[in-house]
Amino acid sequence: MVEPAAQSLALQPIRLSGRLTAGALLLAGLAWVVRGVWEIRLAVAGEPDSGPPDQGYGVHRPLNGLENSYHLVTSVGGLVAFLCALLFLAWLWRVRDNARALSGQVPKYAGIWVFLGWIVPVASLWFPRGIVADAYRTTAPGRKLPVSVNVWWGLWLIGMLGGVGIVYRDSTDEIIARAYSEVWPLLVSDAAVVGAAVAGAFAVRAVTAVQVERIRQAQGAGFAAVGGGRQG
The amino acid that residue 132 corresponds to is V
Q: With contact defined as beta carbons under 8 Å apart, do 110 and 92 qualify? A: no
Q: With contact defined as beta carbons under 8 Å apart, do 148 and 156 qualify? A: no
Query: In total, how many domains does the chain have?
Result: 1
* CB within 8 Å of 41: residues ≥ 6 apart: 66
Q: Among 109, 86, 203, which Cα is nearest to 153's?
A: 203
Q: Identify the three-state secondary structure at position 215.
A: helix
Q: How far apart are CA 111 and CA 161, in angstroms?
A: 26
As a whole number of Å, the end-to-end CA separation of the chain is 11
**DSSP string for 144-197:** PPPHHHHHHHHHHHHHHHTT-SSS-SS-HHHHHHHHHH--HHHHHHHHHHHHHH
Q: Among 165, 135, 178, which Cα is nearest to 74's?
A: 165
Work out the number of other CB atoms within 10 angstroms of the CB of residue 130.
Answer: 16
| CA 35 to chain centroid | 18
The range of the structural domain enclosing residue 87 comes to 3-231
Q: How far apart are CA 66 and CA 9, in angstroms?
A: 54
Q: How far apart are CA 52 and CA 148, in angstroms?
A: 39
Q: How far apart are CA 106 and CA 84, in angstroms?
A: 27
State residue 168's pLDDT score.
Answer: 59
Chunked into runs of 10 residues, the chain (232 residues) has average pLDDT values of: 43 92 97 96 94 84 94 95 96 94 90 93 92 95 95 91 61 90 90 96 97 84 48 47
Report pTM.
0.86
Q: How far apart are CA 31 and CA 35, in angstroms?
A: 6
